[in-house]
Amino acid sequence: MLNVVRKLVIVICAASLAWQPVALAQPVGIPSIGVTSSSDLSPSLERLLGDAIMEQGRRDPDYISDPDVSQYLTSVGRKLARYAPGAASQKITVFALRDKQINAFALPGGYIGINSGLIAATESESELASVIAHEVAHVMQRHIARGMTQSSQSGHIMLATIAGALLAALAGSGDLAMGVAAFGQAAAIDRQLGFSRQAEQEADRIGLEMMRKAGFDPRGMLNMFSRLSRSASLNEGMGGSVYARTHPLSTQRMSDIEGRVGQAAVNHKDNVTYWFIRAKLLALQSRNSQEQTRAAEILQRETGSSNNMQRNAANYGLAYLSFIQKKPEKATEFINNISASNGSIAQVDELKILLALDADNNKHALDLATIAWRNWPSSQSIALTYVRALQRNNNDNEAIRFLESRIKQWPDMAELYQRMAFSLDRQGRGIEARRSMATYYELTGALPTAVEHLTQARNMTDDFYVKSELDVKIRELKDRLVSDRALLERFKL
């Protein structure tokens, strides 16, 4: 039974281990760490910790780096966060993980991870928004920060373990396994912390209000609750109602939300992007041909949906799956099944460019990408695909010019600097290429590697001004490394 409880609770909210008392007394023999109150984990320290965890997380093979997915999920998260009560404590960043288990979690620093399996299980954008809203509420109410520093012994140990692993990574030991382990630990933080019932209820209620104000259908949260409890009990091969009756927390949470949602219908029209991202993830989450076959079955079934957005997205998902399987003709067939009723779709345009690039049809790819960029000037994914097409056509001048504008548009988007370095390098501009790579590493939190690239750049020039400019930057990063280490040392056991 414990396992069932645990599974369902994790499902309904990664952050609630209901059967574990939260305020454990500090057992004798557990050394106290130097943190005693939430004020010690200020938002900026929390962000630093989150950045350090994410630096490792991005290297996790299950991390989905597709900018299309992250940009969409993050836009939903930020749209909701605008309606959070009080001042924003963190900038929200939402990413997806390749994992069929239905789960979502919040990390320190405003990072929220959503498993691909959870997104695939939703059947409307409001359902997905309800999960993101709940996690955003945990972040904004500073439940993570408070939980790690105050509430429980497990929070302390967790934080100490992460700090230890991150220190090893910062030392440049290059121990990837260690770093990934730290990410795994971090992903489990909220599960291990076991938020209080009040915290869970607060996250539900605030999440619901944010949903309402952001224009989503509040009933999405109720649908999600029942969908999750059904799928969890199916997994356990038990009747769903048994669990729902015997688990007071979930019943309590559900009836609390039920009372608040009310009967008034809200007409939320799903963003078409939701359906296409969901279909992309159904294709992307398959790890082997068996899972691909299973995903194809699901998508095939959805091509018969009465919802035309879902139908079109399912054909796109099948096309994307065929692209992954290196079956371009099949991919094109599925693309042709997409009706024009939803207009032009950024995801479909991107896939057409990728297919052209794969076929070495570079001129055609660039033509398609030029039109796509004109149609989707706010899509990071299309921007990157356009740069790839330019680079394939050896048009590095235009790639650099384009990237300079995109860097002004999205200064925090690390991939832009990586692409920029590629073109600069091909033009023999080695110093600038290394500086650009240094920025890429700085943005992804890999400070020691950033310093390495700047040092290489410094060694390539005799120009006094360039040298001293680089020296300033190198010193700045080294100082940051020292202060990051000092911070993490405080959390070590």
Rounded-to-integer distance, Cα 78 and Cα 141, Å: 15
**Cβ neighbours of residue 172 under 8 Å, at least 6 residues apart?**
448, 449
Task: Give least dist CB 260 to Zn ion, A.
Answer: 16
**Cβ neighbours of residue 362 under 8 Å, at least 6 residues apart?**
356, 389, 392, 393
Task: Give least dist CB 328 to Zn ion, A.
Answer: 43
Rounded-to-integer distance, Cα 462 and Cα 224, Å: 62
Task: Give least dist CB 203 to Zn ion, A.
Answer: 5
In one-letter notation, the amino acid at residue 122 is T
Task: Give least dist CB 89 to Zn ion, A.
Answer: 16
| Nearer Cβ to Zn ion (165/203) | 203
Q: Could you give the string, one character per residue 185-224, with x where binding to Zn ion holds by CB under 5 A and - elsewhere?
A: ---------------x--x---------------------
Q: Could you give the string, one character per residue 241-280, with x where binding to Zn ion holds by CB under 5 A and - elsewhere?
A: ----------------------------------------
**CA triple 97-100-105, angle to 5 deg:** 50
Task: Give least dist CB 10 to Zn ion, A.
Answer: 10
**CA triple 446-119-138, angle to 5 deg:** 65
Number of shown-chain residues binding Zn ion (CB under 5 A) = 4
**Cβ neighbours of residue 117 under 8 Å, at least 6 residues apart?**
99, 100, 101, 102, 103, 285
Rounded-to-integer distance, Cα 106 and Cα 191, Å: 10
Residue 410 CB burial class (10 angstroms; 0-12, 13-18, ≥19): middle
SS3 label, residue 8: helix
| Nearer Cβ to Zn ion (15/163) | 15
Q: Could you give the string, one character per residue 3-32, with x where binding to Zn ion holds by CB under 5 A and - elsewhere?
A: ----------x-x-----------------
| Nearer Cβ to Zn ion (141/379) | 141
Task: Give least dist CB 195 to Zn ion, A.
Answer: 6
| Nearer Cβ to Zn ion (52/232) | 232
| Residues in 80-119 at the binding interface with Zn ion, rule: CB under 5 A | none
Residue 305 CB burial class (10 angstroms; 0-12, 13-18, ≥19): middle
Task: Give least dist CB 390 to Zn ion, A.
Answer: 44
Task: Give least dist CB 196 to Zn ion, A.
Answer: 10
Cβ-count burial 95-105 (b if 16+ within 10 Å, e if not): bbbbbbebbbb
| Nearer Cβ to Zn ion (46/200) | 200
| Nearer Cβ to Zn ion (200/350) | 200
| Nearer Cβ to Zn ion (200/396) | 200
Helix runs in 341-392, H state only: 346-358, 362-375, 380-392
- Under the binding rule (CB under 5 A), the answer on residue 133 touching Zn ion is no
Rounded-to-integer distance, Cα 99 and Cα 39, Å: 35
| Nearer Cβ to Zn ion (15/338) | 15
| Nearer Cβ to Zn ion (13/118) | 13
**Where do contacts with Zn ion occur on this chain (CB under 5 A)?**
13, 15, 200, 203
